[in-house]
Amino acid sequence: MADKAKTQAVIPAATPTLTPTLTPVVDRRVVAELVARAQADGMAISGEGGLMQQLTKIVLESSLQGEMDAHLGYDKHDPAGRDGGNSRNGSRAKTVLTEAGPVEITVPRDRDGSFEPRIVRKRQRRLGGIDGIVLSLSAKGLTTGEVSAHLAEVYGATVSKDTISTITDRVLDGMAEWQSRPLDRVYPVIFIDCIHVKIREGNVTNRPVYLALGVTVNGARDILGLWAGEHGDGEGAKYWLRVLSEIKNRGVADVLMVVCDGLKGLPDAVNTVWDKTIVQTCVVHLLRNSFRYASRADWAAVAKDLKPVYTAPSEQAALDRFAEFGEKWEAKYPAIIRLWENAWAEFVPFLQFDVEIRKIICTTNAIESINSRLRRAVNARGHFPTEQAALKCLYLALMGLDPTGKGRGRWTMRWKAALNAFDLAFDGRLSTGRN
């Protein structure tokens, strides 16, 4: 009772009359007066029992009363409502989780049960702001347990892991819409890479999830979609034909280059879908794969001797430098020689272009930075119950990338010189995408 009296002393009696019809402009003097009175009486601004909770309670209850007035057609205690059919029938208590913490409110009821409140719907236990917080935390890679602990610590409310999963499941419709959205007509480059996730369907298996990142004709990043693959080396030309046909059917008429990491069957599928597209293997991945076959003590020497190969001014020069590399290392590391020979057809395309294009397409670093964020989100969870749960986690992480857009300008500027070189090297095909 003392707390109730204290609250009533802090909040002016006139305040409730301001809240049923909120206006776009809040009277700062009223707010300042409320804060000053609360501080003078020792009431906290936030936290349990604080001013924010009390104001939230007043606003919600006043709004609910206003909704009931509109539903019945007359105000509370208005004689016009006597013998008019439906009428008020008391209220019920309900606790809702808000950004100010748990707030207990009274919800008015009508006699025939036809009242359907909108600001706090029937069976609703959370206001929309909390759902946004859950989605934001999930997008940053927090697990359901970590989100639950955060809400308990900051808002003093218990939200189960199942409830958090239910909230995040709401993004599935948005994910499906994002995955099927129309794309640009022309992309100078599409990078394709994969990360592996553990999915617990029967036995826990490692499954690849492929990410396609397109660079637009203006140099902006455009993540085209996510595609789950099969366990092991199940993907081939048929799988990639399906993925690339989906991208084409979303409006992509031409791609100048596709950069990937030696994905089986991808080159054949690319040339089936876009017959003029060049497939380029990622040189950095080729180097990393080379080190797998070499002793760590020889890594520096192997890297030094391979550099003249991938920096050669022409394909013939690269062949000559590779022959020199083979003379030195084939006896010790024949697997490295076979690796480069098998990848040669997809390695050499970028050698025909100038340095601006080479710097951009010889590596999938453009997509690796995104994958590192995705891996953090995946590693935080360990494994997933289903493929859909894994894709939902990755989608949320993608939606949380660079929300302020601060990195977009730097990315776009890095691509300006390369885009001009692309337009010249590919006979104006890039210009058609700007029309």
200 and 316 part of one domain:
yes
**pLDDT reported for residue 330:** 93
Residues comprising the chain, all counted: 435
How confident is the model over 339-386, as pLDDT tens digits? 999 889 888 888 888 777 887 777 656 677 788 888 888 887 777 888
Order of strands across the sheet that contains 221-228: 221-228, 203-215, 186-201, 254-260, 278-281
Separation between Cα atoms, residue 407 and residue 162, nearest integer Å: 35
**pLDDT reported for residue 7:** 43
**Per-residue tens of pLDDT for the chain, all 435 residues:** 444 444 444 444 333 333 334 444 455 665 566 667 666 766 666 666 666 667 666 666 766 777 777 777 777 777 766 666 788 888 888 777 665 567 777 788 888 888 887 766 676 666 655 556 666 666 566 667 777 776 666 655 566 677 667 666 666 777 888 899 999 999 999 998 888 888 887 788 888 899 999 988 888 888 999 998 876 555 678 889 999 999 999 999 999 989 887 777 888 899 899 999 988 888 888 888 899 999 999 999 999 999 999 888 888 999 999 999 999 999 999 999 999 998 898 888 888 887 778 877 776 566 777 888 888 888 877 778 888 888 888 887 887 776 445 556 666 777 888 888 888 888 888 877 665
Q: Where are the alpha helices (DSSP H) in 311-386?
A: 315-329, 334-347, 355-361, 365-381
Burial class (CB in 10 A: 0-12, 13-18, 19+), 355: exposed
313 and 417 part of one domain:
yes
**pLDDT reported for residue 90:** 81
Angle at 371 between CA 208 and CA 353, to 5 degrees: 100
Task: Please tell me the pTM assigned to this model.
Answer: 0.64
Separation between Cα atoms, residue 172 and residue 178, nearest integer Å: 10
Nearest CA among 215, 362, 186, 382 for reference residue 285: 362
Separation between Cα atoms, residue 313 and residue 348, nearest integer Å: 11
73 and 211 part of one domain:
no
In a domain, 196, yes or no: yes
In a domain, 143, yes or no: no
Residue 281: beta bridge partners?
260
Q: How many domains does the chain have?
A: 2
Q: Which domain holds residue 261?
A: 184-432
190 and 99 part of one domain:
no
Measured N-to-C along each axis, helices 144-155 and 128-139 cross at an angle, to the nearest 10 degrees, of 130
In a domain, 150, yes or no: no
**pLDDT reported for residue 15:** 36
92 and 188 part of one domain:
no
Domain boundary among 60, 83, 111: 111
In a domain, 166, yes or no: no
- Which two tokens mark 383? 């494994």
Residues 6+ apart with CB under 8 A from 1: none
Domain boundary among 79, 95, 111: 111
In a domain, 328, yes or no: yes
In a domain, 291, yes or no: yes
What DSSP character marks residue 348? G
In a domain, 17, yes or no: yes
80 and 188 part of one domain:
no
